[in-house]
Amino acid sequence: MKHKWHISRRIFVTLTGVTCALLLVVALAFNLAVRSYIRSRVSVQLDAVSRGASEQREEGRDPREGRPFDDHPDRVMGTRGSALVLSADGQLLFVMNGDQTVGTELASYFREKGEIGSIRYQVIHTGSGSFAVSAVDDPVRSGQYLLTYVDVTSLTAFTQRINLMLLIVILAAVLLSVFLSRRFSRSFARPVQDLSDFAAQIGGGNLQTREMDFHDVEFDRLAASMNRMAAELQEAKQKQETFFQNVSHELRTPLTAIRGNAEGIVYGVMEPKAAGQVILAESDKLGGMVEDILYLSRMGKGRTEGKPEPLDLREVLSLCVYEQQAEAKKKGVSFTFDFDVDPVMLPIREQDAQRLFGNLIANAVRYAGKEIRLDCHTTIAAVKVQVADDGPGIAPEDLPHVFERFYKGKDGKHGIGLAIAKSVAETYGGTLQVRNEGGAVFDVAFPPGGAADKRL
């Protein structure tokens, strides 16, 4: 199983590790640069000393006269070079412009080492200090070596002091990095933990919003999004509870009527034919309600059958009017039409179109006084259908809620029809709006040419 890390620990380890690595790289690069600089400068001085000593040997000067070999201005930190002559086995023959003790120590070093040979640059540590040396063949006598050296004790000490200071700086930087990384990791992990706890509460069913304030904009936005989600879930939960309460109430009424009339027939207290008619009517009402609920559920889950096909909405409206004609005639309601001469085409499932316009027309028949007006037109901007009645209109307090599931106004049926109508319109990218203008006016509008079914 893969090892899991806390985000605070991961941030802390990562930042601290990166800081330490960078500091070590800087320290290494600085050391290499200092050493390279010192070596190049000392090598130049050793070459100058070697040339001066060789010239003095060739001119036959007294090797003890102590004249300097490097009067040029590029001496390293003011150090002067010196020279001495050694035999092939490391015996000190004489010292040129240098300290006898240092010469003895260097000769002793090479005696222990063995044959000298040619040396370009080498640092030797003795009891008197650290010396950079080079060795060439003696220009006067073969079998002897001219050894030149520069005292680099002060340079070595300077480098060590720099390294010590650099080590102190690195340790201080690491401690500061540890402190800042710890604070940063905690400041980052705390909002994540708070938001994680909030999400866990939402998952556990606690949908109360939280007041959360973070320094980072992204965390603030995430908290605001989670609060909106909690509020929407709370609203959905309340709607679901209301839905089930209304469904229970709406189903109980026809079931009670059916049971009461059935018992009346069984116990002989009701005339069978009249009771049977009531049972049939309530069964039809119950069946229609269940069918509407199932249809609404299928729409929400995208389980409708068939694909949208271009339909002439004039024909759909005419068919819906025909289905409501008997009820309209019983109430003395007539229909007037204002349709385009040309077909008003819209890609839509026939079942969805009939549900949409059938519910609007049935609602109009229920509340109309004498007339229902149907308009159907195609414009550049939209496909528009209007269903208007001359009834009393919708009460102002009911107007904002008429499309809510199971919301019933005065003389309402079961509060599902208009919810289905609005759901169908929005599924195809359209809108359904209602207003009072003499009576209730429902306006349906679709994009020109229709829109893709959002369930597909």
User: Do 143 and 24 have their domain in common?
Assistant: yes
Distance CA 278, CA 267 (A): 16
Tell the residue number behind the tokens 């939280």, with chain if given: 210
Domain check: are 223 and 142 in the same one? no
Burial 313-340 (b: 16+ CB within 10 A, else e): bbebbbebbeebeeebeeeebebeeebb
Q: What pLDDT score does 410 carry?
A: 62
Do the domain assignments include residue 334?
A: yes
Q: Is residue 173 part of a domain?
A: no
Query: What digits encode the pLDDT tens for the residues 394-409?
Result: 888 888 888 877 666 6
Any domain includes 203: no
Of 300, 331, 351, the residue that ends a domain is 300
Q: What is the mean pLDDT of the chain?
A: 80
| pLDDT beyond 80 at 181 | no
Residue 67 lies in a domain: yes
Is 456 part of any domain? Answer: no
Q: Are 166 and 30 in contact (CB under 8 A)?
A: yes
CATH number of domain containing 256: 1.10.287.130
Predicted TM-score of the model (pTM): 0.48
Q: Are residues 295 and 358 in the same domain?
A: no
Are residues 118 and 19 both part of a single domain? yes
Give the CATH number for residue 136: 3.30.450.20
Is 286 in the same domain as 333? no
- Cα angle: 379, vertex 381, 387; to 5 degrees: 60
Q: Are 383 and 448 in contact (CB under 8 A)?
A: yes
Same domain, 289 and 337: no
Asked if pLDDT for residue 204 goes beyond 90, the answer is no
> Do residues 280 and 320 both lie within one domain?
no
Residues 40-54 have pLDDT tens digits of: 888 888 888 888 788
Q: Are 322 and 390 in the same domain? A: yes
Residue 24 in any domain: the answer is yes
**Looking at the structure, do residues 293 and 318 belong to the same domain, yes or no?**
no
Q: Which pLDDT tens digit goes with each residue over 320-367?
A: 999 889 889 989 999 999 999 999 999 998 888 988 998 899 889 988
Q: Are residues 269 and 331 in the same domain?
A: no
- 172 within domain boundaries: no
CATH of the domain at 366: 3.30.565.10
Look at residues 428, 407, 431, 429 and name the one whose alpha carbon lies nearest to residue 419: 407
Domain end position, chosen among 160, 176, 199: 160
The 10s digit of each residue's pLDDT in 277-313 is 878 877 876 776 677 677 666 665 555 556 788 999 9
Out of 114, 135, 160, a domain closes at: 160
Expressed as residue numbers, the domain containing 318 is 308-446
Q: In whole angstroms, what separates CA 379 from the centre of its chain? A: 43
For residues 239 and 156, state if they share a domain: no
Which tops the pLDDT comparison, 125 or 79?
125
Determine the Cα–Cα distance for residues 330 and 309; give it in Å rounded to an integer.
Answer: 34
Q: How far is Cα 384 from Cα 378, in angstroms, rounded to an integer?
A: 6
Question: 395 and 363 in one domain?
Answer: yes
Contacts of 192 (CB under 8 A, 6+ apart): 7
Look at the chain and count its residues. Answer: 456
Position of tokens 């995208």?
A: 302
**Is 342 domain-assigned?**
yes
